[in-house]
Amino acid sequence: MPGQEVSLRETYGKTLVELGKENSDIVVLDADLSRSTMTCFFAREFPNRFFDCGIAEQNMVGIAAGLAASGKIPFASTFAVFVLGRCFDQIRMSIAQPGFNVKLVATHCGISVGEDGASHQSIEDLSLVGSLPGFTVIVPADAIETAQAVRVAAATRGPFYIRLPRPKLPLVYNEDYRFNLGKAVTMRSGKRATIMAIGTMVTAAVEAANNLAREGIDCRVLNMPTLKPVDEVSVIKAATETGAIVTAEEHLEHGGLGSIIARVVARHRPVPMEMVAIKDTYAQSGKPAELLQRYGLTAKDIEQAVREVIKRKEW
Partner 1 sequence: MLLSEMGNSLPKASADNVSAEAFSSPVAETRKLSVKEMEAIAKRLRRHIISMTGRAGSGHPGGSLSAVEIVTALYFWVLKHKPSDSCWSDRDRFILSKGHAAPLLYATLAECGYFPVDELTSLRRFNTRLQGHTDCLLTPGVEMTAGTLGQGLSFAIGAALAGRLDSRKYRVYVLLGDGECDEGQVWEGAMAAAHFKLDNLVVIVDNNGQQIDGWNREVMNLEPFAKKWQAFGWRVIEVDGHDLAQLTQAFDRAKLVKGQPVAIIAHTIKGKGVSFMENNPDFHGKAPNAEEVEIALKELE
The catalytic site residues sit at 57
Q: Which is nearer to partner 1, 54 or 270 (CB)?
A: 54
Q: Assess 66 for contact with partner 1 (CB under 8 A).
A: yes
Number of residues that bind partner 1 (CB under 8 A): 30
| From candidates 23, 35, 47, 56, binder to partner 1 by CB under 8 A | 56
Q: Assess 97 for contact with partner 1 (CB under 8 A).
A: yes
Phi first, then psi, for residue 204 (nearest 5°) are: -65, -35
Q: Which is nearer to partner 1, 98 or 182 (CB)?
A: 98
Beta bridge partners of 221: 188, 195
Could you write out the DSSP letters of every residue in 224-259?
Answer: --EEES--HHHHHHHHHHHS-EEEEEEEESTTSHHH
| From candidates 48, 174, 175, 280, binder to partner 1 by CB under 8 A | 48
In the sheet that holds 193-197, the strands lie side by side as: 185-188, 219-223, 193-197, 245-252, 273-278
Q: Assess 259 for contact with partner 1 (CB under 8 A).
A: no
Can you list the alpha helix ranges (DSSP code H) found in the chain? 8-22, 34-37, 40-45, 57-69, 80-90, 125-130, 143-155, 201-214, 232-242, 257-268, 288-294, 299-311
Considering only 44-52, 116-124, 160-168, 283-291, which stretch makes contact with partner 1 by CB under 8 A?
44-52
Q: Which is nearer to partner 1, 73 or 257 (CB)?
A: 73
Least distance (Å) from partner 1 to the CB of residue 89? 5
Q: Which residues bind partner 1 (CB under 8 A)?
A: 27, 48-49, 51, 53-54, 56, 58-72, 74, 89-90, 93-94, 97-99
